Structure 1
Amino acid sequence: MAFRLALRRGPSAFSPASASASFAARRFFHATPRAFVKVGEPIPNLEVLQEGSPGNKVNLAQEFEAANGVIVGVPAAFSGACSEKHIPSYIQSPKLRDAGRVFVVSVNDAFVMKAWGDQLDPTHESGIRFLADPAGEFTKALDLGFDAPAIFGGMRAKRYALVVEDGKVKSVHVEPDNTGTNVSMADKVLG
């Protein structure tokens, strides 16, 4: 491209340094990875999440068209921190009722997520819905996945919480180490 521009401007406009700088700038621009979901972005409009069984598809963009709430992402159903700390912090939070719709999303299958939800909230009184992202498509759309083959067998979601208002992300709480429980617990997210 720099070479073509230089030819249009005349032979004196082209220099190897300008061409090199142009190519380097273009390469840097395209090589920069996208940062994860940001405040103000809409929830991805995807019908890839599953609730209870593979045939029951859920689109969170549609769920948040007329409601506000929270999406809580976890690395794995039934894992220690997820089952003993993270999700119980939401189930037991006195501010849960005021949070709006609350969804727990994990890169797991629908049957595992249903069983996990039944174990954590057997009466379903909390109103929290447990959604499977079996192929990780929703997680990838948010750019909140990480590879963990040695621990989880493959790509998983970082531990996060997204507060959603009017179909857009109002606040982002992503654990800096992907799996910790410092910034995405209910007391930090719901206040």
Structure 2
Amino acid sequence: MAPFRAAFTPVRSALVRSFHSTPAAFIAKGDSIPSVPLQESSPADKISVADLVSKVKKAVIVGVPAAFSPSCSSSHIPSYLKAGEEAKKKGIEEVIVVSVNDVFVMKAWKENLTSASDKIRFLADPQGKFTGEIDMLFDASGLLGNQRSKRYALVVEDGKVSSIHLEEDPTQVTVSGADKGEFFNLR
């Protein structure tokens, strides 16, 4: 009987971990960014998005479903790279890309997309804790193997969310790209 019961221990643990006493709350206009440690260049390099946005007047947090995916690599993040100078003119001091990926993938993706002069930060949310706190996770297990981030852009001013640009379809970039969002007015 003990081996049979032991076989279900991982399942039981997963079920227990999936039930929370308080549900995640979708981030709303006026909310503060949660203080959850993410990783920047190595697992030991912990950084909080809340700390980053508290140091600047205006920032954009960009959530992507998967590093190196076609939409993320060919249009979504390149739109922010192209908007660099225009973003500064609009007062945006920090652009932060967050994905439910490991830090090594995020570091390689940054090196693949950016040059030394680009000031965009790429942060890994390996367990999806930050993304879950703002209720931006979706089940991508059929395609990407686990839960992933919805595609979004949050404009943060003085540490508070001032606008939310959430894609209905995470494979598309219709409202969250720098060339699409009203926060840049680049159209």
Specify the alignment match of 1:102 in structure 2. 95
Specify the alignment match of 1:50 in structure 2. 39
CA distance in 1, matches of 2:35, 2:171: 26
Specify the alignment match of 1:190 in structure 2. 184
| Residue pair 1:95, 1:190 contacting (<8 A) in 2 also | yes
Residue 171, structure 1, aligned to residue 171, structure 2: no
Specify the alignment match of 1:141 in structure 2. 133
Q: Runs of 5+ in structure 2 lacking a partner?
A: 1-22
**SS of equivalent residue, structure 1 residue 63:** helix
Q: State the structure with more CA Rg.
A: 1
Q: CA deviation at 1:157?
A: 0.2
| Residue pair 1:160, 1:175 contacting (<8 A) in 2 also | yes
Q: CA deviation at 1:177?
A: 1.9
Q: CA deviation at 1:150?
A: 1.3
**SS of equivalent residue, structure 1 residue 76:** coil
CA distance in 1, matches of 2:24, 2:133: 11
Q: CA deviation at 1:46?
A: 1.5
AA partner of residue 76 (structure 1): A
Q: CA deviation at 1:35?
A: 5.5
Moved over 4 A (4+): none
Specify the alignment match of 2:151 in structure 1. 159
Specify the alignment match of 1:36 in structure 2. 26
CA distance in 2, matches of 1:79, 1:178: 11
Q: CA deviation at 1:34?
A: 5.9
**More displaced stretch, 178-187 vs 99-108:** 178-187
CA distance in 2, matches of 1:34, 1:135: 15
Q: Cα RMSD over matched residues?
A: 1.6
Question: Please, what TM-score do these two structures have when normalized by structure 2?
Answer: 0.80
Q: CA deviation at 1:148?
A: 0.7
Q: CA deviation at 1:142?
A: 0.6
CA distance in 2, matches of 1:86, 1:65: 25
Q: CA deviation at 1:65?
A: 1.5
Question: Please, what TM-score do these two structures have when normalized by structure 1?
Answer: 0.79
**SS of equivalent residue, structure 2 residue 122:** strand
Residue 77, structure 1, aligned to residue 67, structure 2: yes
Pick aligned residue for 2:55 from 49, 66, 88: 66
Taking only the aligned residue pairs, the percentage that are identical comes to: 52
Q: Deviations over 1:89-135 (max 9, x none)?
A: 000114232421110000000010000000000x2312001000000
AA partner of residue 77 (structure 2): I
| Residue pair 1:70, 1:163 contacting (<8 A) in 2 also | yes
**SS of equivalent residue, structure 1 residue 44:** coil
**SS of equivalent residue, structure 1 residue 95:** helix
Q: Runs of 5+ in structure 1 lacking a partner?
A: 1-32
